[in-house]
């Protein structure tokens, strides 16, 4: 009979596949409703259609996210399924990658299963996977990149590690090529490699042979896989702009292109009714109504809101995680605390005049890993605190079921029905 400790540490690959498959089926169900553009689809779908004709538009953002949407429109035609299938596939792949990331970082079976379920039901990942925007393409590829790097650290051979690092570098470049929001998370693999290298070798970290964190991969080689390769891939995603009939992008004008993009993003200063700030996102205070109208024969609503249980419990788990990282020497928890803080605080210090709750997509995802670790710690206890972990998980899943009608666009009896879910004035 297999020891209990061994069973608890067995790779939960099967569970990750099951949760991912269920998420995909549920998110795909009725994805063509509404049958017209909603929220920011009015910007990105027309921009993708113009890209197919090599017409410059939406120049404030990188191109890869629109390239994905355009590719599906080219294959499937100009219809809702084609608009939204790319983000859904990347959201599904990103969910699976998140589960694998948690496993490779922690090797804790129960925490891994809990984390992937929490992300699948945190509302944000589901809603953003069903709309033709750039954010899920960026976030899904970011998760794939982090997973591949974490797997490279534990690879059995140098060749396997190099393949993982190459995959990480490509995914990093594509993620950044969809949107810049993932940049704080994408610098973490290189930083992690450097810190682990210095920890093992001290001042000889540059030239010492056979040193870790991946024996056989030098610091200079890591710079290529995690720095130069992502930048090359990122710049390659701008290739369509180099063939525009007008406003053609020069292959050598890297700096000029980014000066233009920053200038265009900073020019949007008009107040927006859904404008919010990073501290409001963390408190689940300010939401966005992506859809609220009578459409396709019924009144429907789709709200971008974080799961009230898992998001707020996750915030408490973040502070517990800081304690666990410092006093329990939990490197896995420290990594996710750093990912959460970096991807959130970039919005506190950058100069973008107008920000929105969907910018919390990546921080909210990393928060689910911290909550999973906290619940796992509670379940290891033998006292009444163990029940708190079970109740928290059950409440989080129950909240997903309760709010499902207004995160999926199900028909509502009337335009007043939404009041049932509007527990705070700021949610309206």
DSSP 87-133: HHHHHHHHHHHHHHHHHHHH--HHHHHHHHHHHHTSSHHHHHTTS--
Distances (CA, A) of 146 to 151, 171, 213, 388: 9, 9, 16, 31
pLDDT at 208: 64
Which helix H or strand E contains 299, and what residues bound it?
strand 298-304
Pairing of the two strands 298-304 and 288-295: antiparallel
Residue whose entry in the numeric block shows the structure tokens 């990347």: 90
pLDDT digits over 34-73, tens only? 999 999 999 999 999 999 999 999 999 999 999 999 999 9
pLDDT at 1: 33
Distance CA 289, CA 44 (A): 18
- For the chain, give the mean pLDDT: 93
80 touches 31 (CB < 8 A): yes
Q: Is the peptide bond before 314 cis (omega within 30 degrees of 0)?
A: no
Contacts of 335 (CB under 8 A, 6+ apart): 105, 188, 192
HSE-up (13 A, CA, CB side) for residue 42: 5
HSE-up (13 A, CA, CB side) for residue 160: 8
376 touches 111 (CB < 8 A): yes
Distance CA 125, CA 361 (A): 7
Token digits of residue 142: 């970011």
Low-confidence ranges of the chain (pLDDT < 70): 1-8, 203-211, 351
**Quick one: residue 350, left, alpha or beta (phi over 0 = left, psi -120 to 50 = alpha)?**
beta
pLDDT digits over 357-405, tens only? 999 999 999 999 999 999 999 999 888 888 999 999 999 999 999 999 9
According to DSSP, residue 195 is labeled: H
pLDDT at 51: 95
pLDDT at 204: 63
Distance CA 172, CA 163 (A): 14
DSSP 41-81: HHHHHHHHHHHHTT----TTS-SHHHHHHHHHHHHH-SSHH
What is the CA 420 to chain-centroid distance, rounded? 29
Q: Sort 126 into a burial class: Cβ within 10 Å, 0-12 / 13-18 / 19+.
A: buried
Considering Cα of 237, then 243, then 244, then 246, what sign does the dihedral take?
Answer: positive
According to DSSP, residue 410 is labeled: -
CA-nearest of 213, 210, 172, 217 to 194 is 213
pLDDT at 2: 37
3-state secondary structure of 315: helix
34 touches 52 (CB < 8 A): no
pLDDT at 199: 83
pLDDT at 385: 84
| pTM of the complete model | 0.95
């Amino acid at each position: 009979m297999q020891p209990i400790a061994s069973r608890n540490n067995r790779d939960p690959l099967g569970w990750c596949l099951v949760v991912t498959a269920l998420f995909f089926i549920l998110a795909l169900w009725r994805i063509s409703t509404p049958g017209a553009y909603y929220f920011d689809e009015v910007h990105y779908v027309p921009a993708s259609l113009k890209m197919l004709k090599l017409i410059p538009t939406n120049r404030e953002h990188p191109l890869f996210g629109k390239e994905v949407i355009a590719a599906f429109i080219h294959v499937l035609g100009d219809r809702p399924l084609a608009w939204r299938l790319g983000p859904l596939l990347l959201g599904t792949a990103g969910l699976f990658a998140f589960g694998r990331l948690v496993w490779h970082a922690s090797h804790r079976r129960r925490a891994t299963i809990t984390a992937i379920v929490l992300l699948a039901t945190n509302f944000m990942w589901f809603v953003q996977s069903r709309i033709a925007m750039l954010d899920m393409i960026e976030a899904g590829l970011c998760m794939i990149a982090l997973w591949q790097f974490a797997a490279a650290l534990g690879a059995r051979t140098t060749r396997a590690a190099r393949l993982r690092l190459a995959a990480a570098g490509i995914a990093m470049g594509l993620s950044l090529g969809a949107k810049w929001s993932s940049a704080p998370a994408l610098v973490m693999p290189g930083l992690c490699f450097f810190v682990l290298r210095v920890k093992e070798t001290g001042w000889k970290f540059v030239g010492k042979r056979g040193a870790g964190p991946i024996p056989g991969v030098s610091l200079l080689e890591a710079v290529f896989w995690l720095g130069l390769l992502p930048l090359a891939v990122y710049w390659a995603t701008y290739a369509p702009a180099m063939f525009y009939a007008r406003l053609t992008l020069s292959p050598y004008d890297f700096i000029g292109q980014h000066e233009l993009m920053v200038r265009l993003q900073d020019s949007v200063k008009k107040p927006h009714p859904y404008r919010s700030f990073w501290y409001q996102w963390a408190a689940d205070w300010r939401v966005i109504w992506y859809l609220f109208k009578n459409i396709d024969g019924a009144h429907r609503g789709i709200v971008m809101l974080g799961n009230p249980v898992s998001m707020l419990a996750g915030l408490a788990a973040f502070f517990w995680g800081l304690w666990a990282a410092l006093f329990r020497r939990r490197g896995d928890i420290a990594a996710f605390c750093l990912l959460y803080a970096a991807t959130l605080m970039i919005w506190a210090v950058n100069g973008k005049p107008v920000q929105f709750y969907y910018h919390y997509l990546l921080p909210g995802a990393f928060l689910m890993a911290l909550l999973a670790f906290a619940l796992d710690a509670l379940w290891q206890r033998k006292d009444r605190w163990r029940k708190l972990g079970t109740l928290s998980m059950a409440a989080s899943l129950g909240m997903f079921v309760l709010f499902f009608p207004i995160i999926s666009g199900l028909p509502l009896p009337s335009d007043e029905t939404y009041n049932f879910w509007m527990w705070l004035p700021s949610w309206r």
